[in-house]
Amino acid sequence: MIKVMYKGHRSVPMVCCDICGSWIDDADAGAAVFRKSVGEGCISEVLHTHKGRCHVVAEERLGGQVKTGWHELRQHLQLLVFNTGIPPAALQKLEDGNGF
Ligand SMILES: [Zn+2]
């Protein structure tokens, strides 16, 4: 899930685990778990989780390992940014400005 943390005078978006609720502050430590497609155009709910126990619980919640797939959180977020039309230059601008 996406949450906002208030820090200073800013509201900073963060990805939190849909199972334990805590912040996933390292994309390499997270996963995006979803039900496998049952056909063209199928849209599935996604659970963002920590790898390990939270990932296993998410798979169980969505019907078990056989019925679910997952992406590395890093890849999932990259695809999400790409699919929302955010140009790479906009990300570079954030990087150049030391983030948000
Ligand atoms: Zn978790």
Q: What is the pLDDT of residues 36-50, one digit of tens each?
A: 988 899 999 999 999
What is the rounded average pLDDT of the residues 52-80? 97
Residue 39 maps to a domain: no
Residue 88 to residues 54, 62, 93, 97, 99, Cα–Cα distance (Å)? 31, 33, 9, 14, 14
**What is the Cα–Cα distance from 20 to 29, expressed in whole angstroms?**
14
Expressed in angstroms and rounded, the spacing between residue 66 Cα and the centre of ligand 1 is 21
Expressed in angstroms and rounded, the spacing between residue 50 Cα and the centre of ligand 1 is 4
Expressed in angstroms and rounded, the spacing between residue 43 Cα and the centre of ligand 1 is 23
User: How confident is the model at residue 94, as a pLDDT?
Assistant: 85
Q: Which domain holds residue 21?
A: 2-34+44-96
Alpha helices in the chain (DSSP H): 53-61, 73-83, 88-96
Expressed in angstroms and rounded, the spacing between residue 81 Cα and the centre of ligand 1 is 22
Question: Number of folded domains in the chain?
Answer: 1
Cα–Cα–Cα angle for 68, 61, 24, nearest 5°?
A: 85
Residue 72 maps to a domain: yes
